Amino acid sequence: MTSNNRLFGILVPIISVILGLIAGAIIMIVSGHNPIQGYGALWNGAFGDTFTIGETVRRITPYILTGLSIAFAFRAGLFNIGAEGQVIVGWLASVWVGLTIDAPMIVHLPLALIAGALAGGLWGFIPGLLKAKLGVHEVIVTIMMNYIAMFVSNEIVRSVLTDHGTTTDNIALTASLGSEWLQSLTSYSRMHFGILIALFAAAIMWFLVERTTIGYEIKAVGFNKHASKYAGMNVSKNIILSMVIAGIFAGLAGTMEGLGTYGNVSVLSAFTNLGFDGIAVALLGANNPLGVVIAAVLFGSLKEGAGEMPTGAGVPTELVDIIIALIIFFIASSYIIRWALQRFNKEGK
């Protein structure tokens, strides 16, 4: 039975992606576009040359971390809708340290990364504490904290980090994740060393969940809080800890943008959507670190390649959002795919 569950866990996301792409092709045909040209333009926009490959890797990097954030909270039975706010405060904190501290890179860069991670962790701690101690639903609290993060961040940028400006100065080079070597390899794209941090974070999550007592307890709480409490586990502590760790991952996603891609922080008129897209990445990755990395590669490639579709094939970029939505829909309806696979398996026997 376990092997069947693992097989379904692998097949359902793959089938969901294929169905989403097929549905996208049908939509292109109905709207008068050539799906071969459309997907060809999508591929060229993501992997057409060294520059686009570098930009695709750059876009994948924060998706890995926000996907890990959502996935880790899911392991404890929690829905971290607040990854978006955690990204914003992590971005702000890392840039703040990058602007205000004068130190050599060996000190400055780690400090900026830690500041972003701790800010995200703090933003996860608050809803975790309210959930553990008062039973307040984490979805409601984290949604509200997304708005608090955005508006507080905007005010700090305007009143503290700038003189009523909308964008800060660029961080010091000693706090930057940028790499001239990587940029030269990718025709001077914005690819940076953050991809290594994201992959290392995925390995850390796997180790925590699969090889530590903390991970075992968090999974147990996610399966059944009452049974975990009866077994002597501290349910409140594990709820808070899981939200803090989820916030750290999302905060690091913000540092990837602040210290790597942009080198500054700006006033936001809307959400970055990195945290919300992380929900889709975690769902497609089945809350597994390796699955999250693979899902982030897919979503990052789709998002980056979408920019080429209007010019390369006359297809609106919004089609990629439709394809992603359809993939999520098929994952959410995975019981239908599971039923079809089980029926096919029975008929084969």
Amino acid at 27: I
> Which residues fall within 8 angstroms of residue 136, CB to CB, at 6 or more apart?
127, 130
Q: How many residues does the chain have?
A: 349
Helix axes 50-75, 194-211, angle to 10 degrees: 30
Helical H segments across 212-261, by residue range? 213-223, 225-230, 235-255
Question: What pLDDT does 346 receive?
Answer: 61
Phi-psi region of 115 (alpha: psi -120 to 50; beta: other; left: phi over 0): alpha
- CA-angle at 173, arms to 107 and 102, nearest 5°: 50
Q: Where are the domains of the chain?
A: 34-314
Contact 54, 190 (CB under 8 A): yes
Helix (H) or strand (E) holding 2: helix 2-30
State the CB neighbour count (10 A cutoff) for residue 18: 12
Residue whose C-alpha is closest to residue 64's, from 330, 220, 257, 249: 249
Amino acid at 75: R
> Which residues fall within 8 angstroms of residue 226, CB to CB, at 6 or more apart?
none
Q: What is d(CA 177, CA 2) in angstroms, rounded to the nearest whole number? A: 42
Question: What pLDDT does 323 receive?
Answer: 84
Q: What is d(CA 329, CA 20) in angstroms, rounded to the nearest whole number? A: 9
151: its two tokens: 């508006």
Question: What pLDDT does 318 receive?
Answer: 85
Which residue's entry shows tokens 């390369």?
312
- The backbone torsions φ and ψ at residue 199, rounded to the nearest 5 degrees and listed phi first, read -65, -35
Q: What is d(CA 314, CA 305) in angstroms, rounded to the nearest whole number? A: 13
Q: What is d(CA 283, CA 268) in angstroms, rounded to the nearest whole number? A: 27
Write down the pTM of the prediction.
Answer: 0.92
- The backbone torsions φ and ψ at residue 178, rounded to the nearest 5 degrees and listed phi first, read -65, 155
Contact 73, 80 (CB under 8 A): yes
Written as tens digits, the pLDDT of the chain (349 aa) is 455 666 667 777 888 888 888 999 999 999 888 999 999 999 999 999 999 999 999 999 999 999 999 999 999 999 999 999 999 999 999 999 999 999 999 999 999 999 999 999 999 999 999 999 999 999 999 999 999 999 999 999 999 999 999 999 999 999 999 989 999 999 999 999 999 999 999 999 999 999 999 999 999 999 998 899 998 999 999 999 999 999 999 999 999 999 999 999 999 999 999 999 999 999 889 899 999 999 999 999 999 998 898 888 888 888 888 888 888 787 777 666 666 666 666 655 5
CATH fold group of domain 34-314: ABC transporter involved in vitamin B12 uptake, BtuC (1.10.3470)
